[in-house]
Amino acid sequence: MKKIKIAVAGSSGRMGRALLEAVLQGADTELGGALEVVDSPSLGKNAGEMIGAMSDVLVSADIDAAIAGCSALIDFTRPEGTLVHLAACRKLGVNLVIGTTGFSESQKKTIAEAAQDIGIVMAPNMSVGTNLVFKLSEIAAGVLKDGYDVEIIEAHHRHKVDAPSGTALHIGGIVAKALDRNLDECAVYGREGVTGERKSSTIGFATVRGGDIVGEHTVMFAGPGERVEIIVRSGSRATYAQGALRAAWFLAEKKCGLFDMQDVLGLR
C-alpha cells in the first residue's frame, strides 16, 4: 500500500496530539516530523510517547529538518507560526494543510501567493461533517430566502481564544452570499440591553465558551410557524484529524494551487 509522509506542527497541543494519533494509526500515512516552538518542554521527546504509541520521530523546532522529504505539513497552530511554516514549505516544495484560523486579509494574500508554488488546503474546519453543513447551509439559505431570520450559534472549550469561531464566520459568509448580502454589513455579533426589533436583513452570531466542548455549530433559520436547524456537534478532535489526512492525500496529486475542504470532498 502506498504511503505518504506527513509532518505535524504544534505536535504537543490538543489538536497536535490528535493529528499524531491519526497519522501513526493510519495504514496509508507515515509520520515524517513533529514540530514545536523553541521553548516547548516537549522538544527532543519521542513524538509517539505523547500519545502512547511507537515512533522514530523526535519533537523538533527545526522546521526545515522536520518537513524535509514529507508530502505535507499539517498545521493547526496560530497565524504567525503558520506563516513561518508556509515559507519553509514553499522553499522545500512541501504541501501544506492549514487548519489555523484568524488570518488577516494580508496574511491570506501571502498564503494565496505561496499556492502558486505548492499545494495548499486551507479551511476553517477540517471536519467532514462540518463541511457538509457548509453545503447544506448554502442550500437552505437559497430555499428559505424570504421570511426566515438567520442565527448562528457556536460553542467551544474555554481555551479557544477567538470568537466567533472561524467556522461560524465561514457559515455566515456562505449564508450571506446565498442571500445576496454582505456579511460585513449585516452581521450582529452580540446583543445586550434594549436592542430594538430585529432587522430582517441581519445574520446574528452567538458564542458559548466553557469546559471541554470540542466544537458545536447550529445554523438556525427561524420563520413564521417553523424553525429549520442544521446542527453539527464534534465530540472528538479525531474528526478534524481525519479530514486533515484526506486533505493531505488530496494534495499528494497536486503540484500547486489553493483549495479548501469543499474541493477535497467534491462538494463544489
Asked if 248 and 97 touch (Cβ cutoff 8 Å), the reply is yes
Phi, psi dihedral angles at 262 (to 5 degrees): -65, -35
Strands 149-156 and 215-223: antiparallel
Which SS3 state, helix, strand or coil, does residue 143 take? helix
CA distance 100 to 16: 12
Q: CB within 8 A of 206, min separation 6: which ones?
A: 151, 152, 153, 154, 190
> Annotated catalytic residue: which of 5, 156, 170, 217?
156
CA distance 84 to 110: 11
> Annotated catalytic residue: which of 160, 177, 199, 255?
160
Q: Which of 121, 117, 85, 82 is nearest to 103 (CA)?
A: 82
Asked if 240 and 15 touch (Cβ cutoff 8 Å), the reply is yes
Does residue 145 have an active-site annotation? no
CA distance 223 to 25: 46
Does residue 160 have an active-site annotation? yes
Cα dihedral sign, 141-145-148-150: positive
Residues annotated as catalytic (active site), given as ranges: 156, 160
